[in-house]
Amino acid sequence: MQKLGEREPARSDSRLAAAPSLAVQFFLIPLAVVAVVVAIYGGFRMMVADERTPEEYLNDVRTGGRDRRWPAAYELARLMGDPELQAEHPDLAPALLRAFVQSDGDDPRIRRYLALAIGRLESPPSEAVAALTTALDESDTETLISILWALASLGDQAVVPEIVKLYQATDPGVRKMVVYALGVLPDDDGGEHRTLRSALSDPVPDVQWNAAVSLARHGDGRGLTVLRRMLDREYVSEHVTPSETLADPTSEVMVSGLKAVAALGTVSVEADLRGPVERLADTDENLTVREAAMETLGALDGTPFEGNVAER
What is the per-residue pLDDT across 200-210, written as a single tens digit (0 to 9) for each?
999 999 999 99
Domain assignment of residue 167, yes or no:
yes
Which structural domain range is residue 303 located in? 161-312
DSSP one-letter string for 21-80: HHHHHTSPPPHHHHIIIIIHHHH--SS-SS---HHHHHHHHHHS-HHHHHHHHHHHHHHT
Burial of 307: CB neighbours in 10 Å, binned 0-12, 13-18, 19+? middle
In this prediction, residues 182-206 reach a mean pLDDT of 88
Torsion of CA 201, 203, 207, 209, to 10 degrees: 60
Write the pLDDT tens digit of every residue in 52-81: 899 999 999 999 988 899 999 999 999 999
CA distances from 144 to 114, 196, 308 (A): 12, 19, 45
Query: Percentage of residues in the chain with pLDDT exceeding 70?
Result: 79
Is 42 a member of any domain?
A: no
Residue 312 lies in a domain: yes
Give the pLDDT confidence score for residue 291 in this predicted structure.
97
Contact in structure between 32 and 141 (CB atoms under 8 Å): yes
pLDDT digits (tens, 9 = 90+) for 125-159: 999 999 999 999 999 999 999 999 999 999 999 99
Torsion over CA: 239, 243, 246, 247 (sign):
positive
> Is residue 30 a part of any domain in this protein?
no
Domain of residue 254, CATH code: 1.25.10
Average pLDDT over residues 5-18: 37
From the centroid of its chain, how far is CA 125? 22
Question: Is residue 179 predicted with pLDDT exceeding 70?
Answer: yes
Domain presence at residue 234: yes
In a domain, 94, yes or no: no
Q: pLDDT by residue (tens digit) across 244-260?
A: 777 899 999 999 999 99
- Asked if residues 151 and 163 have their Cβ atoms less than 8 Å apart, the reply is yes
Structural domains in the chain (count): 1
Q: What would the mean pLDDT of 190-198 be, rounded to a whole number? A: 87
Q: Is the pLDDT of residue 40 over 90?
A: no
144/177 Cα distance (integer angstroms): 9
Q: Would you state the pLDDT for residue 37?
A: 54
Residue-wise pLDDT tens digits, 76-113:
999 999 999 999 999 999 999 999 999 999 999 999 99
Average pLDDT, the chain: 84
Encode 108-129: b = buried (16+ Cβ within 10 Å), e = exposed: bbbbbbbbbbbbbbbebbeebb
Residue 283 lies in a domain: yes
Domain for residue 125, yes or no?
A: no
Q: How does DSSP assign 243-267, residue by residue?
A: -SS-S-HHHHHHHHHHHHHHHHTHH
- Give the pLDDT of residue 1: 42
- Cα(150)–Cα(118) distance, integer angstroms: 7
pLDDT of residue 28: 53
Q: Three-state SS for 19? A: strand
The pLDDT assigned to 48 comes to: 47
